[in-house]
Amino acid sequence: MTGILADSLGLMPPKASTFAPAVDFWFDFTLWVSIFFFVLIIGLMMIFMVMYRRRPGVRAIVTPTHSTVLELSWTIIPTILVVLMFWGGFKTYMDQRVMPSGAYEIGVNAKQWAWEFTYPNGIRHPELHVPKDVPVVLTMFSDDVLHSFFIPAFRVKMDVMRGRYTKLWFQATLASPPGGYYPVLCTEYCGTSHSTMVTKCVVHETRAEFDQWLRDADPLKKLTPEQYDEYVRDPAAFIAAHPDIQGLQSPADMGRKLWDTKGCKQCHSIDGKVGTGPSWLGIWGAQHEFSNAPPAVVEENYVRESIENPRAKALKGYAANAMPTYQGRITDREIDSIIAFIKTLKSGSETK
Amino acid sequence: MMPISLVPTDPGGGSGGDAEQARRGSIGALGMVLLLASLSVLFASGISLFFLVRLADGDAWDPLPLPPSIWIATLLLLFSSATGLLAASGAKRENRALLIVGLLLTTILGAAFLGIQWRNWQELLPHFRQAEQRATERAAATAAEMGVQPPLRSIPRSFGVFYMLTALHAAHVIAGVVPLLWVTGRALMGAYRGTKGDGVRRVIVYWHFLDVMWLILLGLLAIGAT
Amino acid sequence: MSSLNPAAAGPLVGAPAADNYLTHSRGFWSWAATLDHKRIGVMYLAGIFTMFLVGGLFAVLLRSVLLTPDAAAGGVKTIVDANMYNRFFTLHGAVMVFIVIIPGIPAALGNFVLPLMLGAKDVAFPRLNLCSFYLWLIGTAMALASLYWGGVDTGWTFYTPYSTKVGSSGAFGGVVPVVAGAFVLGFSSIFTGLNFIVTIHKLRPPGMTWFRMPLFLWGTYATAVIQVLATPVLGITLLLLLAERLLGIGFFDSELGGDPVLFQHFFWFYSHPAVYIMILPAMGVMSELISVFSHKHIFGYKFIAFSSVAIAILGFLVWGHHMFTSGQSELLGVIFSAITFSIAIPSAVKMFNWLTTLYKGSIDFKAPMCYALSFMWIFGIGGLTGLFLGMMGLDQHLHDTYFVVAHFHYVMAGTIFVFFGAIHYWWPKMTGRMYDEGAAVLASLLMFIGFNMTFFIQFLMGTRGMPRRYYAYRPEFQFHHIVSTMGSYVMLAAVLLLIYVLIKSLRSGRPAPANPWGAGSMEWQCASPPPHDNFKTPPPVVDAYDYESLEWDERVGGYVHRGRRGGPAATH
């Protein structure tokens, strides 16, 4: 099953899941039917427009004002065709909606405006990675408003909502090219940065490659407490001494990555531009005033509290409940990295 | 306001006569049927919401104590429907005394119904506050379980449904009292003399409709109290 | 029937009659407090056209924003930020749907034409009619007032929990006035529908049987039934939304055990039938235009009439096809999909009937006909692409992408083509003046080209996975977006030309004859513009689609009946 028109005209994204051929086939089927009827109707209309255009002295010819045979035939033929289409849509839909058993399960959390994927080993990561040829079930929920999970290349979509789990499954059939990815999009309007609530889906060629990625996904998590202390004391030396730990960078760089991927950047700029939340540029050590608490200086504990319990102190001039809590969604080590990153954002530098 | 507009202004050019009268009557009557059909859909969607919420809430449903005076309100409304019948038959038989007394009683009873409903709402307020407290705590617990921010406040949905449905009904009662006052005033000033009083009868039909709706709502509220 | 001689009577002679509905009385109050359906229709038309320009302005603004992709991808968004863009598309949608298209044909043109077409002196409840107009005005004012509170950014669908929790600024925000405005507009719509049903049932003159009614009246009747029976659900949905936002009741809030999908069910229970509120009157106008300008009897009258009713009934049962990816139960989805396909049939039937009407006709490419033929093309595409979306498996891919945006513009904005066609068609009747045919046809061609440029390419974006309501997008779609935006500019030019044509006609248009197009329905049997009370006596009822007795008369510059005096067989 495939779609001839859809393929040759490049109407569809790459076919990267088991659903794609069936969806494209029925798309093609409907497209052929549509083209046939469109050409029939509009073609005849245009012929009539030319043949029967008004000419002086020529009157319209009286033809029968109804014909039961004709009218029944153009009621019944389309009916048969739409019954076929319904059946096609129904069959593909049931394949999409019936979850396979024994699939690889990944949790999906949506919030304004970031995706986060929880893998069976507890790793939380902003990108979706899956092995090829393995059925994957996503169990999804949202922290706030409605979102919708969409991977065009897989032809799958499902709304994600607060207070109810929704599920979606697929089986990837085409590994993403090295360094490449399939876009994961939010398709249910969810506010200011709806259009940047986008992430990557990487399909690994083999299960082993996927497992390797999963092990390396969170370098911080791999460190023992002793190693972690050592790393914090002198990151450069520690990284140099442990080339086997992939992806490990200095705390500030790790923090920058988190800012980029955990949804921080949607509201907090690092160049002084005021967004939904205060910019992080030059924020370290500044005095903050609150509508519900005495003033405080921006230091470690304040940053930690703002991440875990953002409503405790409502910064003046900003919406009090704009930020979701990250409690349970971020590790202590990650908060340390973010603090390290904020410390580097001094105002007065050339970025201002 | 709606029923007033439904007294058709003569579109036909103003010839009097019985046939014309009957024609105008049937125009108004169809208008009233459509209005009631539309309102029935409105109440039906309110009622289906009640059931959806009741089913969804299950054990978390906060039973709603029915204030005792709700029964008095019901009686008043039933009586007002009866006096409405009097007024309608007064209009039909061209008995002005019956018409005016019927209309006055219906209007007064309708206003009294609204007054008692107002008291009922106030009486429920303390219960509502307590239930709101409980609902907020419940919401906070759910939120904590799901690891998200709790809502700022939340209202127990049984009370939400109660206030919504009764307010919806009361709004339509008000929309019935106003035209009642109007036709009463006109009757006092001597209108409807020598007519079958179609306008009056339509207002009364609307009033019966409110009565029936109220009985249905009352049944729902009784279910909601358990 | 005494005065069976319209051909010899005053109305058919060139200049407008001295006493018509426009000149009948003067002064502000003679309009503001008028009970004349024609004046109310004209006021509606002025208001709705103005709001169409407002909604169109938002559309051009948002299309302009989409000229460049994304800051991260190297492009720069220079015009406005994401928040402003979100407000643009929300107001564009809300204004066009609730304020322009839903009342467009029924309230503006229906009000003017319906009693005339029926041979009645007015609608059944003139005061209620005026009341609907003022409700429309108030609702519109409330919706626009939201701009004062910072606008709305929820999308016209007001999906919870976004609309109850976040959306705009503060608890009040712009959401409350817009939603309250839509609520008031709902009343306006119900009253109009109620009025039309009663008028059609009760005010048909003797001889005007159901199956003698012009098809526009069937379309309006089917529409009115939906207006009366579906709009209350919108009312209660919006009230609940307000209660939830202002009081936190929690019907739709999952934290309190509520169900966000419930809102969608309630919302679409109205808003899908609302699509048919938009399209059915347009289809009614189509039947008139196609027949009149081919000078040929409409083909399959009863099939068209019944298909309107079938669409109205089935239209109530398909709302769930907006929710194939919302997490509603699979069984529900299957049922909705099946009924959705069944609704494709009556729409197809209408297309074939119009086509057959053209066959062997004498097709006159006047501006209204150009709009009508454009609609065949546009609705053809709009209807057929609906099949893709009705297939559940395909909808998983296409839902909430530009494919959907393109599809519903081909359907709903397609009705705007009919709206414009209808304005041109009845313009001589309304104003007593002809318009510049050449410029009007040019405007319709520009509109057609601009429309297809704007929206056809959006299908291609949609199938490739471009989601709707995106402020920033991947650079691979920039070409598509540029074409689309250019198309919107062409449409802007077309609308400006159209306005010029209409204004010029008002200022210096040639006086219109009673029947400039050679139409057979009743409204063309009174003068242009019609006298205050339409018909002194109900005119004879003839087959509205019988053009045999109509002939062009050079002296009046319009069509006149030959042989009417002899009494055609259809006359009672």
Which of B6, B53, B154 is closest, CB to CB, to C248? B154
For residue C53, give the CATH number of its domain: 1.20.210.10
Query: Which residue type does B195 have?
Result: T
The model's pTM: 0.85
C207 or A152, higher pLDDT: A152
Mean pLDDT of all residues in A287-301: 86
What local confidence, expressed as pLDDT, does residue C162 receive? 85
What local confidence, expressed as pLDDT, does residue B187 receive? 82
Query: Which residue type does B4 have?
Result: I
**Encoded tokens for C571:** 């006359």
C366: left (phi over 0), alpha (psi -120 to 50) or beta: beta
**Chain C from 195 to 214: CB within 8 A of any B CB:** 195, 197-198, 201-203
> Which position has the token pair 């379980």?
B145
Which of B11, B139, B168 is closest, CB to CB, to C124? B11
What local confidence, expressed as pLDDT, does residue C568 receive? 38
The total of structural domains in chain C comes to: 1
- Does the pLDDT value for residue A324 go beyond 90? no
In a domain, C188, yes or no: yes
C151: left (phi over 0), alpha (psi -120 to 50) or beta: left
Q: Which residues of B touch C (CB under 8 A)?
A: 2, 5-6, 8-9, 11-13, 23, 26-27, 30-31, 34-35, 37-39, 41-42, 45-46, 49, 52-53, 56-57, 60, 135, 138-139, 142-143, 146, 148, 150-155, 157, 160, 164, 168
Cis bond leading into A183, ω under 30°? no
Q: Are C262 and A27 in contact (CB under 8 A)?
A: no
Phi and psi at residue B93, to the nearest 5°: -90, 10
Residue-wise pLDDT for C503-539, tens only, equals 999 999 899 988 899 898 888 988 889 988 888 777 7
Say whether the ipTM exceeds 0.90: no
Which of A60, A63, A152 is closest, CB to CB, to C464? A152
Which residue on chain C is closest to A82 by alpha carbon? Answer: C341
Percentage with pLDDT > 70 across chain C? 92
C35 or B11, higher pLDDT: C35
CA distance C163 to C143: 15
In a domain, C95, yes or no: yes
**In A, which residues are within 8 Å of C359 by CB distance?**
48, 52, 63
Q: Hey, what domains does chain A have and what are their CATH numbers?
A: 4-54+61-97 (1.10.287.90), 104-216 (2.60.40.420), 249-344 (1.10.760.10)
Opening angle at CA A74, ends A69 and A80, nearest 5? 120
Residue-wise pLDDT for C396-421, tens only, equals 999 999 999 999 999 998 999 999 99
**Chain C from 502 to 541: CB within 8 A of any B CB:** 533
- Does the pLDDT value for residue B16 go beyond 70? no
Mean pLDDT of all residues in C134-154: 89
- List, in order, residues 6 or more apart from C93 with CB less than 8 Å away: C155, C156, C157
For chain C, the residue count is 572
For residue B26, give how far its alpha carbon lies from the nearest alpha carbon of chain C (Å): 8
In a domain, C27, yes or no: no
Check CB contact of A161 with chain C, cutoff 8 Å: yes
- List, in order, residues 6 or more apart from C352 with CB less than 8 Å away: A41, A70, A71, A74, C300
CA distance C94 to C105: 17
What local confidence, expressed as pLDDT, does residue C69 receive? 82
Q: Are C467 and C401 in contact (CB under 8 A)?
A: yes
CA distance C244 to C253: 8
Band of the pLDDT at C166, cuts 50, 70, 90? low
- Does the pLDDT value for residue C8 go beyond 70? no
Q: Are B77 and B214 in contact (CB under 8 A)?
A: yes
- Does the pLDDT value for residue C236 go beyond 70? yes
Instruction: Report helix, strand or coil for A203.
Output: strand
Q: State whether the Cα torsion C413-C418-C424-C430 is positive or negative.
A: negative
Mutant choice from A52, A94, A182 vs C, greatest count of C C-beta within 10 A: A52
Mean pLDDT of all residues in C116-137: 92
What local confidence, expressed as pLDDT, does residue B3 receive? 47
Residue-wise pLDDT for B51-66, tens only, equals 888 887 777 777 888 8
What local confidence, expressed as pLDDT, does residue C541 receive? 82
Q: How many CA atoms lie within 13 A of A122 on its CB side?
A: 5
Check CB contact of C176 with chain B, cutoff 8 Å: no
| Cβ contact C247–B160 (<8 Å) | yes
DSSP symbol at C95: I
Mean pLDDT of all residues in B119-134: 85
What local confidence, expressed as pLDDT, does residue C253 receive? 77
- List, in order, residues 6 or more apart from C553 with CB less than 8 Å away: C12, C559, C560
Mean pLDDT of all residues in C328-355: 88
Q: Hey, what domains does chain B have and what are their CATH numbers?
A: 30-36+68-224 (1.20.120.80)
Distances in whole angstroms, Cα of residue B183 to Cα of each of B49, B79, B100: 35, 19, 9
Strand partners, C467: C401
Band of the pLDDT at B14, cuts 50, 70, 90? very low
Mean pLDDT of all residues in A188-197: 89
Range of the domain at C262: 40-57+79-305
Which of A85, A162, A190 is closest, CB to CB, to C387? A85
Mean pLDDT of all residues in B20-38: 85
Phi and psi at residue A53, to the nearest 5°: -65, 155
Query: Which residue type does B69 have?
Result: S
Mean pLDDT of all residues in C129-146: 93
- List, in order, residues 6 or more apart from B90 with CB less than 8 Å away: B96, B97, B98, B99, B100, B101, B102, B197
Check CB contact of C234 with chain B, cutoff 8 Å: no
Phi and psi at residue A186, to the nearest 5°: -100, 125
| Cβ contact A85–C300 (<8 Å) | no
- Does the pLDDT value for residue B191 go beyond 90? no
Helix pair C330-358, A68-97: axis angle to 10 deg: 150
Query: Could you tell me the end-to-end alpha-carbon distance of chain B, in angstroms, rounded to an integer?
Result: 37
- Does the pLDDT value for residue A289 go beyond 90? no
Q: Closest Cα to residue C431, out of C50, C37, C44, C39? A: C39
In a domain, C401, yes or no: no
Q: Closest Cα to residue A204, out of A181, A184, A228? A: A181
SS (H, E, C) chain B: CHHHHCCCCCCCCCCCHHHHHHHHHHHHHHHHHHHHHHHHHHHHHHHHHHHHHHHHHHHHCCCCCCCCHHHHHHHHHHHHHHHHHHHHHHHHCCCHHHHHHHHHHHHHHHHHHHHHHHHHHHHHHHHHHHHHHHHHHHHHHHHHHHCCCCCCCCCCHHHHHHHHHHHHHHHHHHHHHHHHHHHHHHHHCCCCCCCCCHHHHHHHHHHHHHHHHHHHHHHHHHHHCC
Question: Which other chains touch chain C, taking contact as 3+ CB pairs less than 8 Å apart?
Answer: A, B
Mutant choice from B142, B145, B148, B153 vs A, greatest count of A C-beta within 10 A: B148
DSSP symbol at C212: G
Per-residue b or e along A153-165, where b marks 16 or more CB atoms closer than 10 Å to that residue's CB: bbbbbbbbbbbee
Q: Are C325 and C259 in contact (CB under 8 A)?
A: no
**Encoded tokens for C43:** 């006021």
Which of A45, A58, A161 is closest, CB to CB, to C358? A45
| Cβ contact C362–A52 (<8 Å) | yes
- List, in order, residues 6 or more apart from C466 with CB less than 8 Å away: C401, C402, C473, C474, C477, C480
Mean pLDDT of all residues in A300-319: 85
